[in-house]
Structure 1
Amino acid sequence: MLWARLVLPFQLNHVNVYVLDDGDSWVVVDTGVYNQATCDQWEALLSGPLAGRPVSRVIVTHFHPDHIGMAGWLCRRMDASLTMTPCEYKTAERMLQATEGELHGKFRALYGSHGLTSPCLEKVVAVGHEYHSIVSDLPGVVELMSRGDLISIGGRSFRVFTGGGHSPEHGMLYCEADRLLLCADQVLGRISPNIGVLPSEPDADPLGVFLRSLRDLRAEIPDDTLLLPGHDVPFAGLHKRVDELTRHHHDRCAAILTACKQQALSALELVPHVFERKLDLTQIGFALAETVAHINRLVAEGKLTQLERDGLYSYAAEA
C-alpha cells in the first residue's frame, strides 16, 4: 500500500490518496482535484513508482472535488473502473449536470436567507463553488459499493463502511485482519471535517447524522486500528478521537445557545461564536453552512426557535 499527498489550491493544501497493490494492477483510493498541477503529479506517479502495472480500479470515498476531481481523468487515462457508494455517485452526477448558474443560485438562496448580503454574497458564491472546473467528467458506468460489501484487493479483504454528515454516504474500507481503516474525511486526526448543510437540503440535520456515524464507528471498529485519513497523517486511537470530535461539536452547539439566549441572531451573526479565527471569502461559505448545521441540530432538539421575517431567518433560545 502506497501513500501519496497531492497539492490542493486551498488553505487545506493537500489531500491523501492511497494506492493498493492488487497483484497485476493497482487500485487507487481517491484522486485529488482536477487541474494541471494534479495531472502533472499523477503523470509523475504513473511513470514513476506505479510504472509497469496499470491502474485497474479507482475507488472514490465521496463526491467532494478534492477526492473525486481526477477520477474521470484517471479512469479514461488507464481504462480503469470507478467504484463509489450510490448516494455519492448520484450527488456528483447531479452537481456536474447542473449549470454553474443553477449551483450559484442555490447557494445564493441558502446564504442570503441566513444573513449574507451583496456584495459579499456574490463574492462568496463565485469564489467558493466551482465544482465544474475542478471535477472531470465521470465515466458513464460505475460499480456501486454499499455498507457491508466485501472488496478483495491484493489478498486483503476490505469491508465497506459508510458514514454521513460530511457527505451523504461517505465510503470507508476496513481490513479487519490488518486493522486498517481507509476513512478519508469521516474521521480526521487533528481537524474536524466540515459538517455543513447543502443548499438542496437547507433544513437537514447533517450534524445529527455525523454524530450517529461517529458512534457507530466507535462501536464497530477496534481502537487499535490504523486510520488512513484524507488529510494530514495516519493515526491510531479512534475511540479517543471520536470522543474529541463529539465534544467539539457539543461545545459549538453550547456557544450558539449561549449567544441566542441574549437576543435572536442570524446564522451569519453566529459564525463568530463558532469560528473565532478570521475567515476569507472561501471559508465564509463553508463556515456559514456549518453554523446552520449546528443550528438545525439545536432546532431538532427543541433548544432553538427559528424566526422568519422578510425571508431572513434568526434564532432564539429561552434565557
Structure 2
Amino acid sequence: MPLPLPNDGLHAVNVYLLEGLADDGGLVMIDGGWAIPEARKALEEALATVGRDLDEITHILVTHIHRDHYTQAVELRRAIGARVCLGVGERPGLELLNQLRGGVACSLQVLRHAGADDVADRVEARYPDRYRAGDWEAPDHWLDAETLRFGGSELQVIPTPGHTRGHVVFLDEQRGLLFSGDHVLPRITPSIGFEAAAPGGRPLAAYLESLHLMTRYADARLLPAHGPVADSVHSRVAELLDHHDDRLGKTLAALRESAYDAYAVARRLAWTRREVPFGGLDPFNQMLAVNETVAHLDVLVLRGDVAVTFTDGVNQYERKR
C-alpha cells in the first residue's frame, strides 16, 4: 500500500499489510508511513478496499527510524493500540532525537566536518523544522536478529546496518519474500548513514557487508519501501555492489594532486543517473551528496588507498602514492 510523502522526491513509501499471521486474526503491518493526515487517509481507504479496518492492525514492524517509516507507527499505536517493533540498533538514534528537542540533527555536523558549512547553513535555513526532533517514542519491542512467529508463519529479522545503524529487513523464507525497507531498492541507491545518531563508524562499509549478507540467503522476491516489487533480491544486490565499486573508483580519481575535504570531492563528481553536476542539486540533495562522499572516502581510508587528517575542524583526504 503506497502512502504519500510530503514534499519528498520519492513521493510514496510502501507499507505492507499481512493477513493470516496474527493469532487473533489481526493484521501485521510492515513499516508505518509518515504521520501526516494524507497518509492516514490513504491507509484507511486502502484497507477498506480489502474489507479490513484500521483497528485490525495488531503489530507494526518498522525497518528503520526515518520518519517516513516510523512516525505513523507511533501515531497508530496511540490510536488503536498496535504494538510497534524496531531494530535495537536504532536505540542510540532514538534517544538522541529525544535529547535534541529544539536542536539540529547530527547530519548537519557531518556537513561541517566535510567542509560544507555553506550547504549546512542553506539546509538549515530552507528546512528549519525538518531536522529537529519531533515526538519520537520508544517501541514496544526492540528487535534483534531473531525469528518472529505469528501463528504458523515466521518472519526472520535480519539486521542490515548501513542506511541507518539499526536498519532491519524481514524475510519470509517459506514464501520467498523479503521486505527490504530501504536496504535494497529497485531503482535507486539508498542514502548511507543519514540519521540522527552521532557521527562515527563507516556506514558504507557496513552497508556493503549487509548487501553481501543478502546473498547468503536463498533468492527471494523483493518487496521494497520505495518503488515497484521486483522478482530477485540477488540480482538487485549485484547491481548495487557494482554501483558502489564504480563510485569508489570515481571518488578515488577525484583526489588528485593534494588533500581535499569531502565537500571539494563531492563537487568534482556527477550525481544521480542523469549525471547532474553538484551545483545542479538542491540543498537537501547536496547534503546527501556530501554525506555519500564522506562514506565512500571512509571506505577508501579503510582499504588503505587514502589517508585522512583532521585539521581545523575539517577532515582532509589525500590519495596515497
Q: How does 1:3-22 map to 2 (within 5 A)?
A: 4-9=1-6, 10-21=8-19, 22=22
Q: Which residue of 2 aligns with 1:145?
A: 143
- Using the TM superposition, give the Cα deviation of residue 166 of structure 1 relative to its aligned residue in structure 2, in angstroms: 0.6
Q: What CA distance in whole angstroms lies between the structure 1 residues aligned with 2:59 and 2:283?
A: 36
1:85-130 CA-to-partner distances (Å, cap 9, x unmatched) read 21224422421332232x25x4443212212134x43221344572
Q: How does 1:222-237 map to 2 (within 5 A)?
A: 222-223=218-219, 225-237=220-232
Q: Which residue of 2 aligns with 1:114?
A: 114
Q: Which residue of 2 aligns with 1:279?
A: 281
Letter in 1 for 2:218: P
Aligned counterpart in structure 2 of residue 297 of structure 1, from 268, 290, 299: 299
- Using the TM superposition, give the Cα deviation of residue 176 of structure 1 relative to its aligned residue in structure 2, in angstroms: 1.3
Whether 1:25 aligns to 2:26 is: yes
Q: Which residue of 2 aligns with 1:165?
A: 162
Q: Which residue of 2 aligns with 1:61?
A: 63
Letter in 2 for 1:222: A
Partner secondary structure for residue 82 of structure 1:
strand
- CA distance 1:240–1:98, change in 2 (3 Å): same
Q: Is the CA contact (8 Å cut-off) linking 1:252 and 1:274 kept in structure 2?
A: no
Q: What CA distance in whole angstroms lies between the structure 1 residues aligned with 2:72 and 2:260?
A: 41
Number of residue pairs matched? 308
Identity %, equivalent residues: 29
Structure 2, unpaired ranges of 5+: none
- Using the TM superposition, give the Cα deviation of residue 211 of structure 1 relative to its aligned residue in structure 2, in angstroms: 0.8
Q: Is the CA contact (8 Å cut-off) linking 1:95 and 1:131 kept in structure 2?
A: no
Q: Is the CA contact (8 Å cut-off) linking 1:266 and 1:315 kept in structure 2?
A: yes
- CA distance 1:143–1:313, change in 2 (3 Å): closer
Q: Is the CA contact (8 Å cut-off) linking 1:71 and 1:136 kept in structure 2?
A: no
Structure 1, unpaired ranges of 5+: none
TM-score computed with the length of structure 1 as normaliser? 0.88
Q: What CA distance in whole angstroms lies between the structure 1 residues aligned with 2:34 and 2:160?
A: 22
Letter in 2 for 1:130: R
Deviates more, 1:51-60 or 1:77-86: 51-60
- CA distance 1:126–1:95, change in 2 (3 Å): farther
- CA distance 1:35–1:96, change in 2 (3 Å): farther
Partner secondary structure for residue 261 of structure 1:
coil
- CA distance 1:228–1:197, change in 2 (3 Å): closer
Q: What CA distance in whole angstroms lies between the structure 1 residues aligned with 2:222 and 2:209?
A: 19
TM-score computed with the length of structure 2 as normaliser? 0.87
Aligned counterpart in structure 2 of residue 268 of structure 1, from 263, 266, 270: 263
- CA distance 1:161–1:107, change in 2 (3 Å): closer
Q: Which residue of 1 aligns with 2:177?
A: 180
Letter in 1 for 2:305: K
Letter in 1 for 2:18: L
Q: What CA distance in whole angstroms lies between the structure 1 residues aligned with 2:252 and 2:5?
A: 35
Partner secondary structure for residue 70 of structure 1:
helix
Q: What CA distance in whole angstroms lies between the structure 1 residues aligned with 2:155 and 2:189?
A: 25
Q: Is the CA contact (8 Å cut-off) linking 1:266 and 1:313 kept in structure 2?
A: yes
Q: Is the CA contact (8 Å cut-off) linking 2:34 and 2:68 kept in structure 1?
A: yes
Partner secondary structure for residue 270 of structure 1:
helix
Q: Which residue of 1 aligns with 2:210?
A: 213
Q: What CA distance in whole angstroms lies between the structure 2 residues aligned with 1:261 and 1:47?
A: 59
Q: What CA distance in whole angstroms lies between the structure 2 residues aligned with 1:312 and 1:141?
A: 36
Q: What CA distance in whole angstroms lies between the structure 2 residues aligned with 1:200 and 1:68?
A: 15
Q: Is the CA contact (8 Å cut-off) linking 1:110 and 1:199 kept in structure 2?
A: no
Cα-Cα RMSD: 2.3
